[in-house]
């Protein structure tokens, strides 16, 4: 058999992808980067369980792959489809969402300043404060980015990266991606948006001016609570090459098996997000009407403080809703959570199953109580991550747990 060259392989994938370049979200989710295997014809992308690849000569791998930390065909398929769905040219995965954070942060250097949204995901803030600051000498500040003048005045000479999440956790605060991207462009600052809470189905930060969009794949993209992974996408070739260099030099590689799970999950992303968007909106509307509930935080409720901003840049609200039990305290939150029968009492979000937690006692317990209360994370605040069960069963479950208080 004639040798199939590196170029043959790349051409085969490129020609295949060109057919899908202008197709819709679902068609790309199912096919992009995933041609049937040309040798065996298998419809699904094979799980290439190998740590190393055969070479024909020294430093001359048969195809583009030489070592599993640097690249793997199953991972390549996943990175292509993620890039395409994000509206980007280049995709990259890492062993967790925080693995991606590290890969991105290592494009900066000692002495650089990072400007972050004030209620950033706790793990990202911990990495910036407890690792990037003391180990790498990078400083960071945390500001309310609803105030664009504050964003501008917080930029320093050494500000090299702005890090945004919208909506945030657990109060679903929303920020104007496009307006912040314009400020970043003016000052030549790398602009990163963590899109974990929305996914590329509901919101596309690259199209709104972000340089990098990053996700904890562990949540909706994985979607079944069985994989821990991170992914990013960008349109900038040079930046991608630096990020890929960082990824294989630092080492948070994704396993071919996990990449296969996520490839499979992404094929149903739109169906899952549609159901989750609709379930969550129905439940948020029910909560608003309940006389046992105070404030309800959900970005697709017209009464939500940041509704207009969210509506401008996103097409759905995804599954996270926070609400305050009226006259509730830590004990009421605990009792409510323990009375739920379908919602699982657990942290995290994004899976097919619904979860519920109390931020003050769990995900945000490390934030000092005074600061928590000042920003609205009171002890009676409950966060639910709505999944794909039937909305009426979930409502009956919440109703029963509220009645038990
Ligand atoms: C918004 C957000 N970003 C990043 C992460 C980190 O992702 P991972 O847990 O996959 O490292 C999380 C995890 O909860 C998250 O909620």
Terminal Cα-to-Cα distance of the chain (whole angstroms): 73
Laid out side by side, the sheet with 230-234 consists of 90-94, 230-234, 212-216, 190-194, 159-165, 113-117, 139-143
Indicate if ligand 1 lies below 6 Å from the C-beta of 121. yes
E strand map for 195-350: 212-216, 230-234, 293-297, 320-325, 344-345
142 and 234 share one domain: yes
Res 58: pLDDT = 86
Map tokens 């702005």 to a residue.
162
Residue 393 banded pLDDT, cuts 50, 70, 90: very high
Q: Do 259 and 157 lie in a common domain?
A: yes
Q: Do both 144 and 177 map to the same domain?
A: yes
Q: Is 297 in the pocket of ligand 1 (CB under 6 A)?
A: no
Distance 405 CA to ligand 1 centre (A): 32
Q: Would you say the CB of residue 98 lies under 6 angstroms from ligand 1?
A: yes
Is the domain of 261 the same as that of 301? no
Give the list of residues 6+ apart from residue 109 with CB closer than 8 angstroms, or none: none
The residue whose CA is least distant from atom 6 of ligand 1 is 97
Position 1 scores a pLDDT of: 57
Give pLDDT tens digits for 23-56: 999 999 999 999 998 889 999 999 999 999 998 8
DSSP state of 23: S
Tokens 């793990």 label which residue?
A: 123
- Please state the domain count of the chain: 2
Dihedral angle at the C-alpha atoms of 40, 255, 102, 167, nearest 10 degrees?
80
Q: What is the pLDDT of residue 366?
A: 77
> In this structure, which residue's CA is closest to atom 11 in ligand 1?
97
User: Is the predicted pLDDT of residue 2 greater than 70, yes or no?
Assistant: no
Give the range of the structural domain holding residue 303, as residue numbers without chain letter: 269-403
Q: Which residues contact 394 (CB under 8 A, 6 or more apart)?
A: 279, 283, 342, 343, 354, 386
**Looking at 250, 266, 282, which one is the last position of a domain?**
266
> Does residue 329 sit in the same domain as residue 220?
no
Radius of gyration of the chain (CA): 22
Pocket test of ligand 1: the residue of 93, 94, 95, 98 to mutate, having most ligand atoms within 8 Å of its CB, is 98
Last residue of a domain, one of 233, 266, 299: 266
- On whether both 320 and 222 belong to a single domain, the answer is no
The answer to whether the CB of 363 is under 6 A from ligand 1 is no
In-domain check, residue 1 = no
* C-beta 194 within 6 A of ligand 1: yes
| Residue-by-residue DSSP string for 180-224 | HHHHHHHTT-EEEEE-TTTHHHHB-GGGGT-SEEEEETTTTTT-S
Residue that finishes a domain, picked among 228, 248, 266: 266
Whichever domain contains 206, its CATH number is: 3.40.640.10
Residue 355: CATH number of its domain = 3.90.1150.10
Q: Does residue 139 lie in a domain region?
A: yes
pLDDT band at 181 (very low <50, low <70, confident <90, very high): very high
**207 plus 299 within the same structural domain:** no
Q: What is the pLDDT of residues 274-325, one digit of tens each?
A: 999 999 999 999 999 999 999 999 999 999 999 999 999 999 999 999 999 9
**pLDDT digits 0-9 by tens, 203-220:** 999 999 999 999 999 999
Percent of the chain past pLDDT 70, that is, above it, reads 99
- Catalytic positions, please? 69, 121, 194, 219
Q: Within 10 Å of residue 58's Cβ, how many Cβ atoms?
A: 5
Q: Is 192 a pocket residue for ligand 1 (Cβ < 6 Å)?
A: no
The answer to whether position 155 is within a domain reads yes
Q: What is the pLDDT of residues 66-116, one digit of tens each?
A: 999 999 999 999 999 999 999 999 999 999 999 999 999 999 999 999 999
Q: How confident is the model at residue 372 (pLDDT cuts 50, 70, 90)?
A: confident
Q: Ligand 1: which of 97, 205, 318 to mutate, most ligand atoms within 8 Å of CB? A: 97
pLDDT at residue number 278: 98
């Amino acid at each position: 058999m004639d040798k199939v060259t590196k170029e043959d392989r790349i051409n085969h994938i490129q020609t295949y992808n060109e057919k899908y370049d202008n197709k819709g979200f679902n068609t790309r989710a199912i096919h992009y980067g995933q041609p049937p295997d040309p040798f065996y014809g298998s419809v699904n992308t094979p799980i290439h369980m190998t740590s190393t690849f055969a070479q024909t000569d020294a430093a001359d791998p048969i195809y583009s792959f030489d070592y599993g930390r640097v690249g793997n065909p199953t991972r390549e398929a996943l990175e292509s489809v993620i890039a395409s769905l994000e509206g980007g040219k280049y995709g990259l995965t890492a062993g967790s969402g925080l693995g991606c954070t590290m890969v991105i942060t290592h494009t900066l250097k000692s002495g650089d300043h990072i400007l972050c949204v004030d209620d950033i995901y706790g793990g990202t803030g911990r990495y910036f404060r407890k690792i990037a600051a003391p180990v790498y000498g990078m400083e960071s500040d945390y500001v309310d980015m609803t105030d664009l003048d504050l964003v501008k005045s917080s930029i320093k000479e050494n500000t090299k990266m702005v890090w945004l999440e919208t909506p945030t956790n657990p109060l679903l605060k929303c920020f104007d991606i496009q307006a912040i991207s314009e400020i970043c462009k003016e000052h030549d600052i790398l602009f990163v948006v963590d899109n974990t809470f929305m996914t590329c189905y509901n919101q596309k930060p690259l199209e709104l001016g972000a340089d990098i969009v990053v996700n904890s794949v562990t949540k909706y993209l994985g979607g079944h609570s069985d994989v821990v992974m991170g992914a990013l996408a960008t349109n900038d070739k040079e930046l991608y090459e630096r990020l890929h260099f960082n990824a294989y030099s630092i080492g948070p590689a994704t396993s071919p098996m996990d990449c296969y799970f996520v490839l499979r999950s992404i094929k149903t992303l739109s169906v899952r997000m549609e159901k989750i968007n609709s379930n969550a909106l129905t439940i948020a509307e029910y909560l608003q009407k309940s006389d046992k509930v105070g404030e309800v935080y959900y970005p697709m409720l017209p009464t939500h403080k940041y509704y207009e901003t969210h509506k401008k840049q996103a097409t759905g609200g995804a599954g996270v809703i926070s609400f305050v039990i009226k006259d509730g305290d830590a004990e009421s939150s605990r009792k409510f959570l323990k009375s739920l029968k379908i919602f699982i009492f657990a942290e995290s979000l994004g899976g097919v199953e619904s979860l519920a937690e109390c931020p003050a006692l769990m995900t945000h317990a490390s934030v000092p109580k005074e600061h928590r209360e000042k920003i609205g994370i009171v002890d009676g605040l409950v966060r639910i991550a709505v999944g794909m069960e039937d909305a009426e069963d979930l409502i009956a479950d919440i109703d029963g747990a509220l009645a038990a208080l």
